[in-house]
Amino acid sequence: MPKISSYTVTTPASGDLLIGSDVNATPNNSTKNFTVGSILDLATTLPALNPALDSNIVGSLYGTAITGNFTALKVLDLTSQLTADTPALIDTIVGAKDSTTVAKNFTVSDIISLVPSASHARILSATSVATAQDPSTTNTELQIEFGAAQTLTDVSLSATGTLTFNTAGYYTIEFNATTDSGIGAINRQSVIMLAMKRNGTLFGTPIGYVTALNVTKPFTETRSNTFNYTALATDTLEFFIIRDGLGEDVGGLAEIRVDVSNPWTNDVPTASLIVSKLS
């Protein structure tokens, strides 16, 4: 077998062939061809394994055209004789072109380019149409809603605001809530808290906002929280607001109305939710 570097460099395709040993063949360790595509498919399905010292690696004997198997132990013995190097995108790997027996070189960069890239797509966008979402009294939680119910392939949203994951996976959640301090006597304060529950149990740490009250005007501001979430199928997320008893019994969520002359015609909602999925 000639030196790998002597073969023509070409761009790999999914159907191109690489040489290897089939440990399950009869007889054992028969030399076989494997497509580049089938090897890429194994990247997400094979478990991580530790190689044994008697595992076989196919290669050619230096200075000859003889192709044979080398045990991992023998290869490890060579490490003291080889120069350590970092692979570059222009380095080449030997393989067979398509279903032919013609040996070719494939660059590392071309093989990497065959791996499908992940995409991050928005799958749900929900907005509450309520003008206010206020707890009934202090120390009483209120679940935040995000408008009409939605049923999608990967997630579902109930009319009460419960987000259910129908498909396990990696998601990004953007939660927005417009807090309103309410009005009250000077030298008084409102304490508004936001929290999230996963599968009915408090998830993470509540976020609190302490605001000095005004007798005529409330303090209103949109609060945003974006986070990544690894979901199992049937997981649920719920969002809550509460008036803490250390503050006055005022405040909650309120929309911000836009002026009639404002070219941005949409009011800022009491709450909104955006869900994206990595696939």
Quick one: three-class SS letters along 156-193? EECCCCCEEECCCEEEEEEEEEEEECCCCCCCCEEEEE
* Final residue in a domain of this structure, among 113, 138, 160: 113
* Domain CATH code at residue 255: 2.60.120.40
One domain, residues 167 and 229? yes
Q: Let me know whether 152 and 108 are in one domain.
A: no
Task: Specify the number of domains making up the chain.
Answer: 2
Per-residue pLDDT in tens (0 to 9) along the chain, 279 residues: 666 667 777 778 778 877 777 767 777 777 778 787 777 776 556 555 555 555 555 554 544 545 555 555 555 555 556 566 777 777 777 666 665 656 677 777 777 777 666 778 999 999 999 999 999 999 999 999 999 999 999 999 999 999 999 999 999 999 999 999 999 998 899 999 999 999 999 999 999 999 999 999 999 999 999 999 999 999 999 999 999 999 999 999 999 998 888 898 889 999 999 999 998
Q: What are φ and ψ of residue 110, in 5° steps?
A: -70, -35
134 with 92, same domain: the answer is no
The pLDDT of residue 274 is: 98
Query: Is there a single domain that holds both residue 98 and residue 155?
Result: no
Q: Note whether 140 and 272 are same-domain residues.
A: yes
Residues 249 and 139 placed together within one structural domain of the fold: yes
* Co-location of 102 and 180 in the same domain: no
For residue 27, the model assigns a pLDDT of 77
CA-based nearest residue to 268, from 254, 250, 252, 249: 254
Domain region containing 170? 120-278
Residues 232 and 142 in one domain: yes
Q: Looking at the structure, tell me whether residues 99 and 140 fall in a common domain.
A: no
With a threshold of 0.85, does the pTM exceed it? no
Q: What does 14-63 look like in DSSP terms, one character per residue?
A: TT-EEEEEETTSSSTTEEEEEEHHHHHHHTTTSPP-PPPTT-EEEEE-TT
Shortest CA distance to 272 belongs to which of 135, 139, 137, 122? 122
Give the 3-state DSSP-derived string for 69-84, with helices as H, strands as E and coil as C: EEEHHHHHHHHHCCCC
